[in-house]
């Protein structure tokens, strides 16, 4: 199934990283709840419509690695695969390699 988000919504695959301390202790998911999350953009909407009726294009594109706050996304399941849905305004940064 192809996903086409509406407005300024972005579908993201979560990039789960194993958090470790300097000494090698693995931290559980419950540690540091306020930490921003990372993910890979899998689909983007066309953009937001301004009050004047003009389309404001998206600044992220499919394939971008992004950073967003932990509580911003909504979780959805499409074809047995889980995605996170965020608005473009909730994205903190695009990560460059």
* pLDDT 10s digits, 79-94: 888 999 999 999 999 9
Q: Of 72, 79, 97, 53, nearest to 10 (Cα)?
A: 72
Q: Examine the pLDDT at 33 and tell me if it is beyond 60.
A: no
| pLDDT band, residue 54 (cuts 50/70/90) | very high
What gap in Å lies between CA 41 and CA 60, rounded to an integer?
Answer: 8
């Amino acid at each position: 199934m192809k996903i086409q988000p509406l407005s300024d919504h972005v579908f993201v695959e979560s990039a789960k990283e194993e958090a470790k301390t300097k000494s090698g202790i693995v931290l559980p998911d419950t540690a540091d709840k306020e930490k921003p999350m990372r993910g890979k953009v899998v689909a983007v909407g066309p953009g937001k419509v301004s009050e004047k009726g003009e389309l404001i294009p998206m600044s992220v594109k499919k394939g971008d690695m992004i950073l967003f706050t932990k509580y911003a996304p909504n979780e959805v399941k499409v074809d047995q695969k889980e995605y996170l849905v965020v608005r473009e305004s909730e994205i903190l940064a695009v990560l460059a390699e």
